[in-house]
Structure 1
Amino acid sequence: MSDLDAVRMDADERDEFLGRAGTGVLSLSTGDGDPPHSVPVSYGYDPVDAVFYFRLAVGEESGKAEPTERDATFVTYGERGDRWKSVVASGRLVSTADESLSTEALAGLERTSRIPIVDVFGKPTNQVTFEFYRLDPDRLTGRAERSMEP
């Protein structure tokens, strides 16, 4: 029987894992010393620029603070067979509505897989206001469980 260990994913393996899009947890700094605000989210990933895109609920119906420019950490993970993989990205979360980012964001969104809609709102998603945000990570790491050969 082989021992298992966590090893760093190379960029190609990380991009392949992220390229399917999916869900994860986005943690936003509060800036006031309180613990980060963490929410489940769906994401798209642009492997060309190594950037994440999020469709976030905003406004009173979201029950969350507005995700204006803040430090953020995003974690996604999954299993294939009986082995896990995870990716952690940290950086600044910014709105794609900013004119200086909008053209670049449209190109990046076109390179992502479809961002899945995850309904956690208690009402039809067509009644929830969404905005697009992007995370251009300062730090991006992936780990995978592997068999350690003797």
Structure 2
Amino acid sequence: MTTTMTRTQREEFLADTRIAVLSVASDDHRPPLTVPVFYGYQPGGEITFFTGTEGRRARKTRLIERAKVLSICVQREEPPFQYVTVEGTLAGIERPPSAEQLRNVIRRYVPEDVARQWVEEEIGNPAGTLVLFRVRPDRWLSMDAGEDMK
């Protein structure tokens, strides 16, 4: 049976280590920009993620700063199928982010020693090309296909 998740269920689901798909309004009459991102989240808090300000990542940064609203969707791709989508408002921008802010996101996806090395290299980069976005969840959409889908 398909149901909507409770607040606790959806916040715990979002707090699990998953890849988010970010969507933000585009420009030049193009469809919304939709890309995967690593993110951080603790129940009741803001969603955080970082990206760059150079090359292809610069467009994402520019669009987020202009729109000030975005959607993030995370999903479980095997039965029981589940997803949580958050529509949110930009709550803050850290330019450059602190080492701790970067570690809090990246350590969810890679071993601690790899995260530490990656952050040290990025913090030591004099170009300062990273920006961390903080997003306040405003609206939640969720679905849990239930145990009967297994």
Q: Normalization by structure 1: what TM-score? A: 0.67
Query: CA 1:63/1:31 → structure 2, altered by over 3 Å: closer, same or farther?
Result: closer
Residue 53 of structure 1 is matched in structure 2 by 48
Q: Which amino acid aligns with 1:75?
A: C
* Paired residue secondary structure (1:14): helix
More strand by share: 1
Q: Which one has a larger percent helix, Structure 1 or Structure 2?
A: 2
State the partner residue of 1:11. 7
Q: Does 1:96 align with 2:89?
A: no
Structure 2 matches for 1:71-150, cutoff 5 A?
71-79=69-77, 82-97=79-94, 114-116=107-109, 126=122, 129-147=129-147
The corresponding residue for 1:120 is none
Identity %: 23
Q: Residues 53 and 25 from structure 1, CA distance in 2 versus in 1: closer, same or farther, beyond 3 angstroms?
A: same
In the alignment of these two chains, the number of paired residues is 129
* Whole-angstrom distance in 1 between the partners of 2:43 and 2:104: 8
Shift of 1:142: 1.9
Q: Deviation of residue 114 (structure 1)?
A: 4.0
**Per-residue deviation, 1:113:** 8.8
Moved more, 29-38 or 15-24: 29-38
Measured on the aligned residues, the alpha-carbon RMSD in Å equals 3.5
Stretches of structure 1 lacking an aligned partner (at least 5 in a row): 118-123
SS at match of 2:94: coil
The whole-number CA distance in structure 2 between the counterparts of 1:112 and 1:34 is 30
Aligned to 2:44, the other structure's residue is in SS state coil
CA distance in 2, matches of 1:20, 1:113: 13
Q: Distance in 2 between matches of 1:88 and 1:79?
A: 14
- After TM superposition, the score normalised by the length of structure 2 is 0.67
Find the aligned partners of 2:24 and 2:108 in 1 and give their Cα distance: 20
SS of the equivalent of 1:9 reads coil
